[in-house]
Structures are given as C-alpha cells and as structure tokens.
Amino acid sequence: MDREHSKKVDLFQRELILCGLTPNEKVVVLSEGNALRDYALAFVEAAKQLGSEVEDLNLSTSEALTADERITQLGKSSLSDNKAAMSTLKAADLAIDLMLLLFSKEQIEIQASGTRILLAVEPFEILERLFPSKESRQRVEESEKLLASATELHFSNEEGTDVVYQLGNKQILTEYGFTDTPGRWDHWPSGFLATMAKPGGVDGRVVMAPGDILLPQMKMLREPISFEISEGRVTKISGDAEASALNGYIQNYRDDRAYAVSHIGWGLNEDAQWTVDVPGIGMDARAHWGNVLFSLGPDIEFGGTNDTQCHLDLPMKNCDLRLDGELVVQKGSITY
C-alpha cells in the first residue's frame, strides 16, 4: 500500500512539474465521495513536496460516479449547485479534476476564471504507460497549426466513408497530457487534437469498419456501421445488430441533440494501443497514432450550446484525412 502510494506521489509530481507548477501557486485537487481518493491524497502530497499551496476539495455525495459511469452521463455533477466549491476552484491556479467535469458548464466557468485544469481519471497503469512528454506537446501543436490554417476537412476509408467538414469559426482543442497555460484544460493521458465544423457544416457518409472502436462502450466492431450525415446531423444509422444496438443506446437518452456531429480530429500518440482490452475509459483508442476520431453529441466544449449527455467518441483506423485537399493522415499513418 505504502509502496503503491509513493509510486503515485512520484509520478504525480512529474506530472505537476510538466504542468509548470511553482511554489507560489495554488492547486485544488477535486474529487467526489470515495472515487479516486488514493489519487487525491497522492496529488496533495506531490503538490506539497513541490512547495505549493494545496487544497483537497472532496465533495460529499451519496452517489460518487466512477469515470466510466460519468462518461455516459456527462455534464451534471455534485459540483453543479455548489457555489463554495466553484469559488475555491476559480481561485486556484491549477485544478486537478478527478471527477470528470468534461462537457459541463462548470468546467467552462472554471477555465474562464483563469484556472488551468488537468483531468486525470485513468487507471494508474495507463497513466504510467502513456505518461506525456514535451515532444508530445510539440507534435500536437504542430498539428494544430495545420488544422488552424485549413478551411475544409475531408475524410474517407475503403469502407465507404466520404464526408466533408466545413471549418468555419473553429476552436481547436489540443490534448497532449499536461497544461501550463492559464485557463487551459488538458487530459492525462492523451495526444490528439479536435475541432468542430461550423454549424450545419458536415455532409456525407461515415462508415465505421470492423475493428473500429465505439466509446464509451469500449467495444470493437465486428460489423460495419454506416452514418448518413446532412447539415451536421446524423439522419440515419444503418447496418446489422451492432448498428441497431448503437441506435438504441442513443435513443435511450431521449435527446435528439445526441445525433449532432461533434468534434473531428486525429490521434498522435505512438504509445497508445489499438485495443479495448484495457481498463479505464479508452484513451488508448482516442489518442492512437493516425486514427481519425469521429464523434457525436455535445459541442459546448467548443463554444456551442449542445450539452446533451450522450457523447460518442468513434475512433477509426486506416482512414485518409485531408485538409484543403492535402493528405495529413494516409491509411492510418501521419504524413507530415
């Protein structure tokens, strides 16, 4: 137990150093109920050892969700009506999010106050294996420049995908696994980037192939699933049993906004594995080198108003992705 704890303290300290934590900064470690208390205590100790002021902000709740539960019902949490906790988080320089605030209004409000946020909820073995580096940041930021200068994104695969995203007022979400920039959010582990089309600006067809991955289901497909897309919305999902199951999953949310096309981007982490046979929420598949990450659901992380709780991340391999006609991903390999 003690040895496990000190391994965590050591790794978390390396992460806090990557996040540029200095002794005159304040860290708030946010957790809920009993979920990831071991991480909370280790982050507190790691921050103390670096000489920073640190607060262990543990929200009491009757039903703390694990990360894999939270990811199926994003947006609402025990932070939603907690003004005192919100002001503590806004007064911090760095918040460690152990409860998965992603796609919540609270996260956006905390970022707007200048607090940088690091999400860390994956099992320790995955945090260790996919530990980020300054090189991962360079690679993601180099890709960000390519994406920022493009006006049209096209992706395709041999299964029949042929879809265009009009990149208008684009915000780009970079994820390289640490954050030293005020107000910036990141997720440890990661290694990819994503953006949104302008409203209504996605048309075509996406066909996921056998071997592509459904998240948060942590399921590798055995059959193709086809999505017809018109003006930024999925109008039809077709295929066999796996397509029906996916459609049923979405319909269970009883929220038409779940059919909106969400972010699009590609993976840049060479250490990430193409597998669902790992614990946690599937960051390996999301960040896998040369994937195309197709997604449905909310857009509030990108400045929109769709806060549906149904968010699907759909990493696909062996795709071609072009920016203004230039290949950046070719059959699942990065070209630049």
Q: Compute the least distance from the CB of residue 315 to Fe ion, in Å.
A: 10
Q: Compute the least distance from the CB of residue 75 to Fe ion, in Å.
A: 13
| 106 lies in the binding site for Fe ion (CB under 5 A) | no
- Kindly determine how many residues on this chain lie close enough to bind Fe ion according to the rule CB under 5 A: 2
| Structure token digits, residue 120 | 């860390």
Q: In this chain, which of 93, 301, 313, 320 binds Fe ion, going by CB under 5 A? A: 313
Using CB atoms, what's the residue nearest to Fe ion? 313
Q: What is the dihedral of CA 140, 141, 143, 144, to 10 degrees?
A: 120
Stretch that binds Fe ion, among 46-54, 240-248, 311-319, 325-333 (CB under 5 A): 311-319
- Give the CA count within 13 Å in the CB-facing half-sphere of 217: 18
Closer of 21 and 261 to Fe ion (Cβ): 261
Closer of 150 and 312 to Fe ion (Cβ): 312
230 to 259, contacts with Fe ion by CB under 5 A? none
Closer of 12 and 185 to Fe ion (Cβ): 185
Q: In this chain, which of 156, 295, 308, 318 binds Fe ion, going by CB under 5 A? A: 295
Closer of 242 and 313 to Fe ion (Cβ): 313
Closer of 40 and 314 to Fe ion (Cβ): 314
Binding footprint of Fe ion on the chain (CB under 5 A): 295, 313
